[in-house]
Amino acid sequence: MNNFPSSAGCSRGVGRGDKQKQKRYQGLSHNLVSKYTILLQGQGSQSGESVQEVAGDSRGSVRGRRVITDVVPSRPSEVVSKSGTSGTQITVQANYFKILKRPEWTIYQYRVDFSPDVDNTRLRRAYLNEHRSLLGGYIFDGSLLFCAKQFKCPQNSVYVLELVTKNRADESIYIKIKAAGTVEKADIQQFHVLNLILRRAMEGLKLELVSRNFFDPMAKIKLENYRMEIWPGYQTSIRQHETDILLCAEVAHKVMRIDTLYNILSDCVRDYEDYRSAFRKEVVGMVVLTDYNNKTYRVDDVDYSASPLSVFSTKDGDISYDQYYKKRYNITIRDLKQPLVVSHPTDKNIRGGMDQLIMLIPELARATGMTDAMRADFKLMRAMSEHTRLPPERRIERLRVFNRRLTSAQSVDVLRSWNLDLDKNLVEIPARVLMPEKIFFGNQKHYTCDNRADWTGEFHKTAMYGHVDIKRWIVITPKRSLRETQDFVKLCIRAAAGMKMTISEPRYDEIPDDRNGSYSQAIDKAASLDPQIVMIVLKTSNEEKYACIKKRACVDRPVPSQVVTLRVIAPRQEKSGGLMSIATKVVIQMNAKLMGTPWMIDMPMRGLMTVGFDVCHSSKNKNKSYGALVATMDIRTSGRYFSAVTEHLKGQELSDQMAMNMRLALKAYQEHHGALPERIIFYRDGVGDGQLHQVVHIEVELLKSKLDDIYKSAGKPEGCRLAFIIVSKRINTRYFVNKRNPAPGTVVDDIITLPERYDFFLVSQSVRQGTVSPTNYNIIYNKMGLSADKLQILSYKMTHMYYNFSGTCRVPSVCQYAHKLAFLIAESINRAPSSGLENQLYFL
């Protein structure tokens, strides 16, 4: 296998993917527009060169990858209105701009082929651009041409045009253009074209494409002390919403490190005797950016046998890497002895015919992303948050600036040439604020949530709703840390007493050192004494030690465990009341792990099981993922749960595992109540747009079928009353109330929702910094007999029941529990936990 540098200039380099045949779209009638849509997101071009384009200039292509997704209709035909009625009516502004005029044009679509084939998109565009006087204004994406002119087929030919141009070697390149259909104003292809036009207009903003989005390097913010830069930018998409075509615009930021892989290599050479292993460990898995072509790559290996002097083959003959970069980019590589970094081709590259390893020069590859050490640096995170966590007022102003830039100068010429007009104001939407929830504690006391959505302070004076006294427990601590550990345990006992919970003095197991083996032996010894819970003290956060402890306590010797670090429980500079607050949170966690109930909400519905499901990918093995299911056993009176987690390989469907784990959850519920639940609401997290079809047509169908069988065999011929809701956190929608964050419980279910979905947006949490992010709920199946209003209220209630934080969270608690469990297994345990823990929240 030959190896190639990261450039489209090689004869078989990354440009090969452009040979993939583009999908041809059939025109859809207007009444099907709600069933399909096309979303476009940018990603770097093969050439990486900037595109200067004006209306009518055929270089008018869009740099970037189009992510084309069929929208899966999930709105039941009987649902006339998906709007709720409860709560206080308000008006919010959202980060959307209305397209004022629906296009009235007809666009002709053509397929463009080159003979001999040209696999470099930049060259394809350049060759076609030579004939712009004939073609007029058009958009060309490398394979498909959209043009306002209609060309007729000559007799005895399948091509409407056959053009000829010359390459650098003075060889003839034949361009063959074939008719592929039309795009009428009612066609779904219209949104494809609209997004292409928008991207073309955005090129007038002088932004750069990095990975998938446009950023403004001229407005970059330098954090000199941390060798980092923050590039502001935008994420955009045009889509058909309930009644209008809307442009969604969101402010984005890209964290760019000034460090190159060569800097990291130099540090490893300086700091480690075995610098090769240290460098490989540091960079493998990292995503890097090459400035010369604005492309990103994942590092998969380091080749110490190769250097910039190594030679590879091109269509013009053999050439060394240093000569190639000098000739192609006029870049002089300074260190000719540095090793090369290897990036494996992606699945998309392989499908496109490129299966060679991509070789990168450390000196030219800039590190991206943040290390764990960076994330742990409080000062760095605070410095970044000042620029990235924009409060609503600043975010709105940035959006208005974007709008002004887009409707001025060169950009507006592009829009007007296609007869498009963009509203200058943010879209205003009717919304509702749901009634605040009451949080119930012990002794029949309750607290009504305010806009902070946080009831932590109530535990200093109130008993927990239900608690489990801890009479047998063991604390494992390094011998040198015994005094600090004992002081913290005393605080925990005091905090528990304030919440009317009894914690006895523990038995201390002092280990001589903090090696993994010492912790494992101590856990084995502790488990043999049948404690209720074990507390393990670490000197500092250490992923390897934490994984070792959790494997032992969750798999080999199952026992509920609570891991704490000295840095948290015995900080050098203790703030007033800080340690007592930490002790209170630890006690609440331990109580929840022992099936206690720290607090409760008002849940009027009887016989309800709520279920959360999430998937987490293993960072150690990218082909493995773990799907976790967490279900409530009694949401009205106790904190009993059932959990299960299963491993699956990349590309494997989750349907069977999900149905199997649901069968186990129903069995546990039946053992607890003597009957099956009357209703089940299933929240599914971790679903991308590309997986929606599979979830709707495979997962839900199989789950529904299996549950109906269980219910019918139990004497319930009507089957299971199930609702299945997809929960999405990674969305670009934001909304504001009078330039401020909306209050927790603010629901939007019109205007910006999608006509083909039964969906709504909900802000359930409060934030101290930046702009709050809503969560999208897509109800893809509903036979519970509940209205949209009741499902919205129920979903909001469930965001109050996550016992790891005494406040609301972004998603229903069962989703957050499922995520916590899947993350623990994927990152630390990498195997199924003991079934003996399945009824406890051991993973908190």
How many angstroms separate the CA atoms of 143 and 124, rounded? 9
Residue 250's DSSP bridge partners are: 235
Contacts of 832 (CB under 8 A, 6+ apart): 555, 645, 646, 647, 825
- DSSP code of 239? E
Nearest to 36, CA basis, from 695, 697, 756 = 756
Is residue 134 classed as helix, strand or coil in its secondary structure?
A: helix
Active site residue 70: no
Asked if 94 and 247 count as a contact pair (C-beta separation under 8 A), the reply is no
Two structure tokens written together for 305: 């046998």
**Residue count (the chain):** 844
How many angstroms separate the CA atoms of 809 and 453, rounded? 9
How many angstroms separate the CA atoms of 832 and 830, rounded? 7
Cα end-to-end distance, the chain, whole Å: 47
Contacts of 520 (CB under 8 A, 6+ apart): 548, 549, 552
Contacts of 607 (CB under 8 A, 6+ apart): 675, 677, 678, 679
How many angstroms separate the CA atoms of 777 and 566, rounded? 40
Is residue 715 classed as helix, strand or coil in its secondary structure?
A: coil
How many angstroms separate the CA atoms of 525 and 521, rounded? 6
Q: Which of 18, 187, 685, 759 is catalytic?
A: 685
Element spanning 747, H or E: strand 746-748
The residue assigned the tokens 């941390």 is 226
Main-chain dihedrals φ then ψ at residue 128, nearest 5 degrees? -70, -30
The amino acid sitting at 414 is V
Active site residue 685: yes
Neighbours of 555 (CB within 10 A): 16
Nearest to 261, CA basis, from 273, 269, 252 = 269
Q: Which of 614, 634, 759, 789 is catalytic?
A: 614
Cis peptide before 116 (omega within 30 of 0): yes
- If phi > 0 it is left, if psi is from -120 to 50 it is alpha, else beta; for residue 764 that is alpha
* Dihedral Cα 404, 408, 410, 414, nearest 10 deg: 90
- The catalytic residue positions are 614, 685
